């Protein structure tokens, strides 16, 4: 029986457990990446492990999320990150060098390697044939310490591409098609592996766009083969030496198949407020647009921006539209500035933004009240843009650029303003690594700089035998980590857990945090009750660390997304799955819930008995965790567990 690429990479990195889908598997991590918003906590946790240097092949620390620097906090974080990188043997990518996933794809990705990143879009490098996985900061800190990473061995779904995209239809439309089919729910512990003749028609950056947004389906990763196109990309990046061919065996077996004929695709959009709400752009034709934003780790490659330049050339942004463009990396920025693309953009009236996450994380460029914003990024969760009533639609760069000119939703296929676009694949990138700082061999004189924004990683207490408390909040389905732990204006508090905690569930229930801390201070445990797909979206472990700080002891949900489930366990919060929708319906907010004999229940079983004291009944829920997670839950989290093992 032949192997998929996923199985091949997993076997090469096998460190323990089982490769059988659904079972716990430990793998070796070759490369790690962090970004500043999750990175400060990851390095504080790495420091807490007490190691002199990182132990994995390559660790890179990027600064791309918090580059706004209003107040001292972001700059404090940057200084800490730069100094701790030098001390611990980590490559530091300075602010301005670009978005982590774009820069990593360009400068470090390599076929057949594993990459663990403290950002949910780490799978972007799957476009290079790399098994790239997003995780919480602590898991990345442990990977830097050489500790194997535990996953649930994934199912592998084949996504077979046939045909060729028509001009004006792009990679973004492929992944939106995938999202339409698979939706944002129910794809945990799965890898999407792309096969078929259509693969050969896609460049590495296009493949990366597709892998990037697999994260929105909730999969562990997405993967393309490494072929001649990959070799050409690496050669153009002056890194052909990193190339290795990688393909699935001809008789490889998969756990499912989805076929897409690329030649039949048309421009698509994800409507508010979920990347899974897919419609054809043509169905919205003529709807007024207020804002257009092009960039983010999904669509900011040289190839994307050259197409945008071609569309904007000789035209002007409509009077009712504000257009912002953020090149994904300094390399892309420099290239578009030399080839005339940037001039076309400026002449068209575009506002040129820094090579950073910026608008995507709600750091700036929030739309007006009820404003319609067309964006090329990957997430359109309610409020993420910084405007609760903002209507964010996710589209391709082609759709975004043409709609910026017309001022209304315009399918690039149904217009005669721009006759053609050419797909330009650079054969020689302007590689310049001068914004990467490589760590010194001898770091004994390096001082780690800690400004007042740099706090300490929080610790939980070991599990107690009785956990008695209240359902402090009850929420519905698809609660994202943006709901739990807002970013945007609050992002600068990532390194200060006590302060950041005051904003937990801010946009959902602004009194949540006060209610929680009051109960915690009175010895009452807090519980969160939720529907399906709780914790979807980002890898931010703050969505577990801050609730932990507020005294949340368990989450009861109909299902919990992979990275968030791991973050909850790392924080020592019980991730409990409700067995039926009826069980979910029966619990009301503020009900008193009690877990008796919790230590023995967690030690021994997968089913946990809970009493609803207020309503006077008992129910069971599932504790679906690995043995390591069970142990960390007992010890009050991963940091306690690991520190004990290092003693
Ligand atoms: C996101 O796109 O939601 C983020 C911001 O990049 C997060 C990481 C974070 O919250 O810092 C992610 O995707 O993991
Ligand atoms: Fe940055 Fe947005 Fe990509 Fe997250 S999704 S890494 S915020 S560009």
Closest residue to atom 1 of ligand 2, CA basis: 357
Q: What is the pLDDT of residue 605?
A: 87
Nearest to 103 by CA among 200, 208, 211, 199: 208
Say if residues 554 and 499 touch (Cβ distance below 8 Å): no
Q: Give the number of other CB atoms < 10 A from CB of residue 219.
A: 25
482 contact partners, CB below 8 Å, separation of at least 6: 379, 381, 383, 384, 537, 538
CA distance 69 to 57: 32
Say if residues 530 and 552 touch (Cβ distance below 8 Å): no
Tens-digit pLDDT profile for residues 360-404: 999 999 999 999 999 999 999 999 999 999 999 999 999 999 999
Name the one residue in this structure whose structure tokens are 């023995």.
Answer: 600
The alpha carbon of 177 and the centre of ligand 2 are apart by a number of angstroms equal to: 21
The alpha carbon of 538 and the centre of ligand 1 are apart by a number of angstroms equal to: 4
The alpha carbon of 291 and the centre of ligand 2 are apart by a number of angstroms equal to: 19
Mutate to test the pocket of ligand 2, among 38, 105, 361 (most ligand atoms within 8 A of CB): 361
Q: What is the pLDDT of residue 313?
A: 98
Beta bridge partners of 536: 480
Nearest to 137 by CA among 634, 624, 485: 485
Q: What is the mean pLDDT of residues 148-175?
A: 98
Calculate what percentage of the chain has a pLDDT beyond 70.
100
Q: What is the mean pLDDT of residues 539-553?
A: 98
CA 360 to ligand 2: nearest atom: 2
The alpha carbon of 129 and the centre of ligand 2 are apart by a number of angstroms equal to: 21
The alpha carbon of 214 and the centre of ligand 2 are apart by a number of angstroms equal to: 13
Q: What is the mean pLDDT of the chain?
A: 97
CA distance 415 to 167: 13
* Cβ-based burial of 46 (10 A; exposed 0-12, middle 13-18, buried ≥19): buried
Which ligand sits nearest to residue 135's alpha carbon? 1
Q: Determine the length of the chain.
A: 647
Q: Which tokens go with 542?
A: 């703050």
324 contact partners, CB below 8 Å, separation of at least 6: 291, 292, 293, 294, 295, 350, 351, 352, 353, 359, 365
Q: Is the CB of 138 under 6 A from ligand 2?
A: no
Give residues (CB < 6 A) around ligand 1.
37-38, 65, 119-121, 134, 361, 379, 487, 537-540
Residue 307 has pLDDT above 80, yes or no: yes
Q: Is the CB of 377 under 6 A from ligand 2?
A: yes
Tens-digit pLDDT profile for residues 582-604: 999 999 999 999 999 999 999 99
Mutate to test the pocket of ligand 2, among 357, 358, 365, 538 (most ligand atoms within 8 A of CB): 357
Calculate what percentage of the chain has a pLDDT beyond 90.
97
CA 64 to ligand 2: nearest atom: 1
The alpha carbon of 537 and the centre of ligand 1 are apart by a number of angstroms equal to: 8
Residue 174 has pLDDT above 90, yes or no: yes
The alpha carbon of 578 and the centre of ligand 1 are apart by a number of angstroms equal to: 27
Residue 337 has pLDDT above 90, yes or no: yes
Q: What is the pLDDT of residue 186?
A: 87
Nearest to 494 by CA among 458, 524, 522, 533: 458
CA distance 540 to 402: 34
Phi and psi at 449, nearest 5°, equal: -95, 125
Beta bridge partners of 530: 557
Residue 576 has pLDDT above 70, yes or no: yes
400 contact partners, CB below 8 Å, separation of at least 6: 292, 293, 294, 308, 374, 375, 376
The alpha carbon of 295 and the centre of ligand 2 are apart by a number of angstroms equal to: 10
Tens-digit pLDDT profile for residues 435-462: 999 999 999 999 999 999 898 899 999 9
Residue 643's pLDDT band (boundaries 50, 70, 90)? confident
Residue 646 has pLDDT above 80, yes or no: no
């Amino acid at each position: 029986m032949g192997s998929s690429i996923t199985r091949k990479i997993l076997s090469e990195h096998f460190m323990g457990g089982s490769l059988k889908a659904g079972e716990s598997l430990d793998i070796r991590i070759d490369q790690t990446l962090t970004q500043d918003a999750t990175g400060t906590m990851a390095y504080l946790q790495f420091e807490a492990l007490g190691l002199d240097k990182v132990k994995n092949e390559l660790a890179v620390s990027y600064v791309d999320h918090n580059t706004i620097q209003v107040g001292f906090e972001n700059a404090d974080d940057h200084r800490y990150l730069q100094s701790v990188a030098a001390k611990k043997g980590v490559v530091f990518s300075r602010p301005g060098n670009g978005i982590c996933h774009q820069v990593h794809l360009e400068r470090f990705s390599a076929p057949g390697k594993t990459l663990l990143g403290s950002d949910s879009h780490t799978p972007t490098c799957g476009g290079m044939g790399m098994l790239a996985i997003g995780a919480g900061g602590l898991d990345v800190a442990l990977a830097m310490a050489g500790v194997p990473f535990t996953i649930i061995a994934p199912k592998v779904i084949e996504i077979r591409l046939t045909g060729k995209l028509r001009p004006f239809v792009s990679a973004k439309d492929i992944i939106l098609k995938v999202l339409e089919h698979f939706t944002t729910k129910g794809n945990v512990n799965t890898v999407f592996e792309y096969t078929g003749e259509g693969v050969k028609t896609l460049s590495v950056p296009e493949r990366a766009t597709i892998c990037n947004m697999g994260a929105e389906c909730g999969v562990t990763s997405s993967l393309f083969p490494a072929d001649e196109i990959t070799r050409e990309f690496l050669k153009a990046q002056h890194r052909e030496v990193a190339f290795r061919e990688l393909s699935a065996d001809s008789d490889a077996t998969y756990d499912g198949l989805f076929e897409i004929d690329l030649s039949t695709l048309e421009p698509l959009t994800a409507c508010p407020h979920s990347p899974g709400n897919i419609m054809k752009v043509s169905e919205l034709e003529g709807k007024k647009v207020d804002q257009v934003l092009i960039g983010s780790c999904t669509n900011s490659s040289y190839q994307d921006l050259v197409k945008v330049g071609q569309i904007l050339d000789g035209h002007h942004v409509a009077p009712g539209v504000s257009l912002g463009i953020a090149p994904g990396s300094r390399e892309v920025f420099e290239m578009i500035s030399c080839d005339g693309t940037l001039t076309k953009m400026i002449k068209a009236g575009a506002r040129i933004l820094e090579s950073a996450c910026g608008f995507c994380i709600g750091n700036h460029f929030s739309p007006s009240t009820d404003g319609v914003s067309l964006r090329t990024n990957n997430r359109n969760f309610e409020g993420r843009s910084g405007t609760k009533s903002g209507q964010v639609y996710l589209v391709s760069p082609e759709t975004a650029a043409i709609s910026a000119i017309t001022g209304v939703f315009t399918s690039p296929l149904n217009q005669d303003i721009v006759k053609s676009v050419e797909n330009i694949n650079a054969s020689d990138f302007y590689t310049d690594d001068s914004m990467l700082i490589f760590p010194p061999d001898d770091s004994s004189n390096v001082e780690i700089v800690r400004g007042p924004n740099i706090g300490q990683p929080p610790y939980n207490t070991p599990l107690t035998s009785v956990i008695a408390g209240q359902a402090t909040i009850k929420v519905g389905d698809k609660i994202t980590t943006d709901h739990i732990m807002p970013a945007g204006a609050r992002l600068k508090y990532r390194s200060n857990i006590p302060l950041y905690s005051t904003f937990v569930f801010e946009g959902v229930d602004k009194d949540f945090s006060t209610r929680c801390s009051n109960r915690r201070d009175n010895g009452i445990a807090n519980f969160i009750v939720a529907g399906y797909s709780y914790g979807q979206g980002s890898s931010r472990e703050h969505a577990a660390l801050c609730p932990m700080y507020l005294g949340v002891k368990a989450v009861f949900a109909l299902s919990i997304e992979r990275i968030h489930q791991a973050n909850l366990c790392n924080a020592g919060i019980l991730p409990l799955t409700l067995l039926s929708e009826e069980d979910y319906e029966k619990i009301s907010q503020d009900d008193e819930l009690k877990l008796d004999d919790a230590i023995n229940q967690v030690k021994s079983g997968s089913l946990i008995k809970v009493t609803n004291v207020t309503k006077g009944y008992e129910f069971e829920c599932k504790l679906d965790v690995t043995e390591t997670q069970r142990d960390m839950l007992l010890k009050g989290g991963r940091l306690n567990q690991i520190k004990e093992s290092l003693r």
